[in-house]
Amino acid sequence: DSGVTQTPKHLITATGQRVTLRCSPRSGDLSVYWYQQSLDQGLQFLIQYYNGEERAKGNILERFSAQQFPDLHSELNLSSLELGDSALYFCASSPRLAGKHTDTQYFGPGTRLTVL
């Protein structure tokens, strides 16, 4: 158990819908990262927050957005869902500021999103 929690574990929805994935980082961790993992593209970095502020963006679609709240939990919002958005979505957390590569990222169990 990494200490990172994600809800829900599974999510099935239809094309065009909007969903919200939730992540609670490890106690004391200030950085939260979101990743998407699909069979054809592997694990891809989406976005990172540090202490409530966006710090880095990766291959995140404009239909996707995220935020980190004062209590440090984070939400990833996916809208206008397409079949290709079906994937595992992972949240990870680490203690410190972005750029400290030696900070281990602790991953949550993931949310499996299925878009029908």
Partner 1 sequence: DAKTTQPPSMDCAEGRAANLPCNHSTISGNEYVYWYRQIHSQGPQYIIHGLKNNETNEMASLIITEDRKSSTLILPHATLRDTAVYYCIVIKGNDYKLSFGAGTTVTVRA
CB of 17 to partner 1, least distance (A): 23
In the bound state with partner 1, the residue whose beta carbon lies nearer, of 4 and 115, is 4
Q: How is residue 85 annotated by DSSP?
A: G
Distance CA 30, CA 73 (A): 9
Beta bridge partners of 31: 50, 94
Spatial contact of 7 and 92, defined as CB atoms under 8 Å apart? no
Spatial contact of 96 and 109, defined as CB atoms under 8 Å apart? no
CB of 16 to partner 1, least distance (A): 26
In the bound state with partner 1, the residue whose beta carbon lies nearer, of 30 and 56, is 56
Spatial contact of 102 and 39, defined as CB atoms under 8 Å apart? no
CB of 61 to partner 1, least distance (A): 16
Residue type present at position 107: F
**For binding to partner 1 (CB under 8 A), which residues are involved?**
2, 4, 33, 35, 37, 42-45, 48, 56, 58, 88, 90, 92, 94, 98-110, 112
In the bound state with partner 1, the residue whose beta carbon lies nearer, of 59 and 80, is 59
In the chain, count H helices and then E strands. 0, 11
CB of 58 to partner 1, least distance (A): 6
In the bound state with partner 1, the residue whose beta carbon lies nearer, of 22 and 112, is 112
